[in-house]
Amino acid sequence: MNLEQYTALAGDALQTITDFRRWGASRFAAAGLDFSQGQQHPRGEADALLAAALHLEPEDLAELGAARLLGSEKTTIFKHFYQREILRRPAAYITGEAWFAGLRFGVDERVLIPRSLLEPFIEEGFAPWVEASQVRRILEIGTGSGCMAITLALRFPEAEVDAVDISADALAVAHANIRRYGLEDRVHLHQSDLFAALEGRRYDLILSNPPYVDATAMAELTPEYRHEPR
């Protein structure tokens, strides 16, 4: 099915924001999409894509639900929904952003979509195991989008953070996110295989959320995951 055929499924029936919210959620649920990389349920995923297409926040949609949409706006929404449902592209890559620890980060197919079981520990500054006043140097290995390094820099405002990745493409994404938060003076990027480029530096806190999915497990994952870097 191409985009034109997909758009024709709805005909002219969809006119308002509420129409598209309902249609998108219904389509996504019926298609059996995997939501574990994003909003965790069809309605949230549809809202995220719809809001991005309209340059709004998802929480704005209910209040503006009766608003009728322009043809150009509908075209963008259909493109977003088509990529999500038919191409199984993750919502974060369609909108170009993802959330981690309450912060917004730019992402694309050069990096994994931010998510980690370490997220609540980072938000809490690893209390009670880590004394924030004692942390002056932090290292994150495998930084990807830079989301953890940036969150750590904000959580430990007196610390310098080194963030390494073997991928130059990933570091380019991380650099853009560091600029977004104005942390160029405190978060330092290094292209490195683990500690190779760190010249014997020592740290108070070292963090890593490395790849852990082997080939067998990868073959069993849903199509959404195959859009992420291997």
Tell me whether residue 102 is in a domain: no
What is the rounded CA–CA span in Å between residue 190 and residue 133? 25
Q: How many alpha carbons fall within 13 Å on the CB side of residue 132?
A: 14
Tell me whether residue 139 is in a domain: yes
Residue 145, domain extent: 110-227
- Count the neighbouring beta carbons within 10 Å of the beta carbon of residue 207: 21
Q: How many residues does the chain have?
A: 230
- Confidence (pLDDT) at 95: 96
Query: Are 118 and 217 found together in one domain?
Result: yes
Is residue 189 very low, low, confident or very high in pLDDT (cuts 50, 70, 90)? very high
Of 12 and 17, which is predicted with more confidence? 17
CATH number at 36 reads 1.10.8
Percent residues over pLDDT 90 in the chain: 82
Asked if pLDDT for residue 211 goes beyond 80, the answer is no
- Confidence (pLDDT) at 23: 97
Asked if pLDDT for residue 213 goes beyond 90, the answer is no
